[in-house]
Chain A
Amino acid sequence: MTRPPAEPESGAGVSGVAVELRGITKRFPGTLANDAVDLTVRHGEIHALMGENGAGKSTLMSVLYGMERADAGSIRIDGREVRFTSPSDAMAAGLGMVHQSFKLFDSLTVAENVVYAAEPRRFGLVDRAAARRRVRALAEEHGLAVDPDARVGDLPVGLRQRVEILKLLHRGARTLILDEPTAVLTPAEADTLFGVLKSLTAQGRTVVLVTHKLREVLEGSDRVTVLRDGRVAARLVTSDTTADEIAAAMTGRAVELDRVHAPGTPGEAVLRVTGFSTDSVHDVDLTVHAGEIVGIAGVAGNGQSELVEALAGLRPVAAGQVRLQGDDVTHASATERRVKGLAYVPEDRHAVGTAPAASVADNLAMGHHRTTLSARGLLPPAAVRAHARRLVERFGIKAATTEVPASALSGGNLQKLLIGRELAHDAPLLLVEQPTRGVDIGAIQNIHDQLIAYRDAGHAVLLVSAELSEIRGLADRVLVMYEGRVAASYTKEEADERTLGLAMAGAPVEATDMNPLT
């Protein structure tokens, strides 16, 4: 800890405090999620609530928003003590929350979404014209330009987020809680969002920002409360703190941020893709050599996931050729590719990469169950358990036992499980998507070190990430995907944040950079 938590300002009855949580304690079976947490948010500020996964941020916000009941502690809104039993109580008291996964109806228009459950009425019917006027007025007032008649499903993510914010403003929210708002945004969209938030606070509204991204906290917030292990680890004023100080408070130790690893020494080509197309990937050429990490940057939804899934054999190929260690595997099944030498860490570790209801041991066995662990079709439970214990040890996965369900693991540990399982294949090619999304800082370092070690052992790695710092830290070469195409290719030195950010947003790049090194 870098600085002892100061006494929380006494906010009772004092104007200037929008939200005051006092001594919030919330116990879940086996976990003390919040241990006497105090949080004071002043009127008109952007207050960042930081912490690693499992630090208690989400629980604290659930308590504040009436989704969970605290075991102890009190909540005051504008100095008045309140007791919420549901989110609607919280909304009535002027709170509003934008969840990480948006709660919108894709098939309805912006206006319909904004006024949903608080519709302007006329003769008992929804007054659509009034709804559109209302949305236009709100959008104009707050600089949140969006077409009221557009279908939400057709909007890009950044605009959908605006719809969520408009929804809260329409209901008269004075304090907005945003949960990891920039996870799905480009750097430019994130900047726009912070512009909007600043103008909202300038008008006297209050913003609570739940996030684990240091950069945006430093740039966009006024004050920071850091949680660790369910307790307040630090209360900081943004203008006189540093990224290192916050990171140390989050992890309880000094961490090296945004480390740029030394480049690898590329050898033979392991993966060679030419003229490759699927329904949403167009004419992609790329090569990954042994001892090299090739990074694919891009805003989510520009074809990166589809490309990787197709390379893993999980999606039909429309045109082109894929060679793995010299052999044509364009039309090989997922299993054939794995046998040939491919391991794959998918983007969605809950829905695809693991079976959360299955035990840690069963999750670690997948893919190994036909090779090293079984003989003549038999899969001895003892072999599965021994394999699981080995990987748990080797990759530092924290699990009570190997028999607990994978859903009992924290995000970071689940990701270590997934990465450990795939690294253990020792396959010449590793496809890895978003290796550290939603993972603690401590675990991020561990995962990055593992990937670098894997590369240095002479394996080829294709890395897809939406985190620019990750791409820049790990990749020896960087490709940027935009609208299903490889829009640009950079060496490690060329790939600075601004250049990548522009290419990700679809800015034209010089044609000389278009040829990936082969």
Chain B
Amino acid sequence: MTRISGALRSPLTFSVLAGLVIGALFLLGTGADPVTAYRAVVTGALGADGIGSTLTTGTSVLGLALALAIPLRAGLINLGGDGQMVLGGITAAVTGLYSPLPAPLTVVLALLAGMAAGAGYAILAALCENHLGVPLLVSSLLLSYPAVSLASYLARYPLKEPGSSLPQTRALPDGVALPAFGDSTVTLGLVLVALAAAAYWFTDRRTAVGYEIRMTGLNPRFSAYAGVERRGLTLKLMALSGGLAGLVGAIGVLSFPYRFVDGSLTAPGYTWTGLTAALLAAAAPLGTVVAAFFFAVLQVGGLAMERTTEVPRELTQVLQAIVIVFLAARLRFPRRWFGRRTRESEAV
């Protein structure tokens, strides 16, 4: 009972409901019917035609959400998800194109290479903070741009598909692809990301290092006082974070259309959606998964809504933005709406 009313009173519930209500007002303002529009979002994302697309998008959003949640749990913000992901993607593409190994091994190698590239690049940002005093927020964000540009250059020039007018690399050789489920676009990548989420949950709840990460996030001076070495922790967490972002990039390249297409990884805004999901959940493992799925639904459902109701899909972005603003303001329902229950008192 306490738990339920606690969940209802959480700022998260308030923000999501407020977002839905204000979104409905927007819809009414443009002359659309909110019920129809919201139904279109839900059926478009979760119906038989949409679920595959939602899971594919969900793979990337969840992957990036985890990548950003892991350092965020210790209070570190990695804003370089785009660069790390794109480097992972282009590295996987290069590996896929040039690896002399048989196709299945090449896939594994491409995934590992993608993760290594993302991790290495994130470590660079961590080193900037640890040794040059550049705040991680700044170093990770700024390092992102050259990485994206480098990948763009590679895709447009040295690795460009001959004869194509699109800025994309040659297609990977036959068989160099992640196995897909049936004839959907959902690949083994979803399983990998889900495993990462499970590992994150386990580490967070049940290991000494997970405990140290949580305490560092809640009070860095407290964990430093007890001997947790912050620089080392920053380095490790950024490596994991970048590795996961690189994995998402590699998964993107090893799935349809089996090549690196310039902009295809960054244009959907996975990094920002992922960051939002991680922030929404305060980087808690289960909450991050739920929030990532919620945003994947909004993203895919928004497109469906645009097709069927002529309401522009930007509405779902408005929704997302409102949720964030309310959440940032930490608004919540008044306590009295949920009966008189005594919370932990201030003066136990």
Of the candidate stretches B40-48, B107-115, B207-215, the one touching chain A is: B207-215
Contact between B344 and A358 (Cβ–Cβ < 8 Å)?
Answer: no
Contact between A366 and B222 (Cβ–Cβ < 8 Å)?
Answer: yes
> Is A29's beta carbon under 8 Å from chain B?
yes
Please measure, in the bound complex, the distance between the C-alpha atom of A366 and the C-alpha atom of B211, giving whole angstroms.
9
Chain B residues numbered 318-348 whose CB sits less than 8 Å from any CB in chain A: 335, 342-348
Please measure, in the bound complex, the distance between the C-alpha atom of A442 and the C-alpha atom of B347, giving whole angstroms.
15
Q: Report B-chain residues with C-beta under 8 Å of the C-beta of A33.
A: 347
- From B224, B226, B348, A367 is in contact (CB under 8 Å) with B226
Contact between A358 and B218 (Cβ–Cβ < 8 Å)?
Answer: yes
Instruction: Tell me how far the C-beta of B217 lies from the nearest C-beta in chain A, rounded to whole angstroms.
Output: 9
- From B224, B226, B344, A404 is in contact (CB under 8 Å) with B344
> Is A399's beta carbon under 8 Å from chain B?
yes
> Is A424's beta carbon under 8 Å from chain B?
no
Instruction: Tell me how far the C-beta of B222 lies from the nearest C-beta in chain A, rounded to whole angstroms.
Output: 5
> Is A380's beta carbon under 8 Å from chain B?
yes
- From B212, B219, B347, A354 is in contact (CB under 8 Å) with B219
> Is A6's beta carbon under 8 Å from chain B?
no
Interface string of A378-399 (1 = CB under 8 A from B): 1111001000000000000011
- From A334, A353, A404, B222 is in contact (CB under 8 Å) with A353
Q: Report B-chain residues with C-beta under 8 Å of the C-beta of A365.
A: 211
> Is B221's beta carbon under 8 Å from chain A?
yes
Instruction: Tell me how far the C-beta of A89 lies from the nearest C-beta in chain B, rounded to whole angstroms.
Output: 25
Contact between B208 and A378 (Cβ–Cβ < 8 Å)?
Answer: yes
- From A366, A379, A380, A408, B345 is in contact (CB under 8 Å) with A408
> Is A352's beta carbon under 8 Å from chain B?
yes
- From A313, A377, A398, B208 is in contact (CB under 8 Å) with A377
Taking chain A's interface residues, is the majority helix, strand, or loop, or is none over half, making it mixed?
loop
> Is B225's beta carbon under 8 Å from chain A?
yes
Interface centre among B210, B218, B343, by most chain A C-beta atoms within 10 angstroms, is B218
Contact between A377 and B345 (Cβ–Cβ < 8 Å)?
Answer: no
Contact between A362 and B214 (Cβ–Cβ < 8 Å)?
Answer: yes
- From B209, B219, B223, B335, A377 is in contact (CB under 8 Å) with B209
Interface centre among B223, B342, B348, by most chain A C-beta atoms within 10 angstroms, is B348
Instruction: Tell me how far the C-beta of B141 lies from the nearest C-beta in chain A, rounded to whole angstroms.
Output: 27
Contact between B218 and A408 (Cβ–Cβ < 8 Å)?
Answer: no
Q: Report A-chain residues with C-beta under 8 Å of the C-beta of B342.
A: 29-30
Chain A residues numbered 14-36 whose CB sits less than 8 Å from any CB in chain B: 28-31, 33
Contact between A381 and B215 (Cβ–Cβ < 8 Å)?
Answer: no
> Is A221's beta carbon under 8 Å from chain B?
no
> Is B310's beta carbon under 8 Å from chain A?
no
Please measure, in the bound complex, the distance between the C-alpha atom of A369 and the C-alpha atom of B222, giving whole angstroms.
14
Number of interface residues of A (CB under 8 A): 46
Please measure, in the bound complex, the distance between the C-alpha atom of A338 and the C-alpha atom of B224, giving whole angstroms.
13
Q: Report B-chain residues with C-beta under 8 Å of the C-beta of A30.
A: 342-346
Q: Report B-chain residues with C-beta under 8 Å of the C-beta of A405.
A: 344
Taking CB as reference atom, which chain A residue is nearest B340? A29
> Is B206's beta carbon under 8 Å from chain A?
yes
Q: Report B-chain residues with C-beta under 8 Å of the C-beta of A344.
A: 225
Please measure, in the bound complex, the distance between the C-alpha atom of A29 and the C-alpha atom of B207, giving whole angstroms.
35
> Is B39's beta carbon under 8 Å from chain A?
no
Contact between B229 and A31 (Cβ–Cβ < 8 Å)?
Answer: no
Taking CB as reference atom, which chain A residue is nearest B335? A29
Contact between A408 and B344 (Cβ–Cβ < 8 Å)?
Answer: yes
Taking CB as reference atom, which chain B residue is nearest A380? B206
Contact between A398 and B348 (Cβ–Cβ < 8 Å)?
Answer: yes
Contact between A355 and B218 (Cβ–Cβ < 8 Å)?
Answer: yes
Contact between A366 and B335 (Cβ–Cβ < 8 Å)?
Answer: no
Given known contacts A314-B225, A346-B225, A379 and B348 CB-to-CB distance under 8 angstroms: no
> Is B205's beta carbon under 8 Å from chain A?
yes
> Is B182's beta carbon under 8 Å from chain A?
no
Taking CB as reference atom, which chain B residue is nearest A336? B227
> Is A351's beta carbon under 8 Å from chain B?
yes
Q: Report B-chain residues with C-beta under 8 Å of the C-beta of A354.
A: 219, 222
Q: Report B-chain residues with C-beta under 8 Å of the C-beta of A333.
A: 227, 229
Contact between B222 and A370 (Cβ–Cβ < 8 Å)?
Answer: no
Contact between B208 and A400 (Cβ–Cβ < 8 Å)?
Answer: no
Contact between B225 and A377 (Cβ–Cβ < 8 Å)?
Answer: no
Contact between A357 and B227 (Cβ–Cβ < 8 Å)?
Answer: no
Please measure, in the bound complex, the distance between the C-alpha atom of A233 and the C-alpha atom of B135, giving whole angstroms.
53
For the A-B complex with A31-B346, A351-B219, A377-B207 known, give 6 more contacts whose Cβ atoms are closer than 8 Å. Answer: A30-B346, A314-B224, A346-B225, A352-B225, A374-B207, A378-B206
Question: Top 8 nearest A-B pairs by Cβ distance?
Answer: A30-B345, A335-B227, A355-B219, A334-B227, A355-B218, A404-B344, A54-B347, A408-B344
**A-side interface residues toward B, CB under 8 Å?**
28-31, 33, 54, 312-314, 333-335, 338, 344, 346, 351-358, 362, 365-367, 369-370, 373-374, 377-381, 384, 398-400, 404-405, 408-410, 413
A-B pairs with beta carbons under 8 Å apart, 9 shown: A30-B343, A30-B344, A313-B227, A314-B225, A358-B219, A373-B208, A378-B207, A379-B207, A404-B348
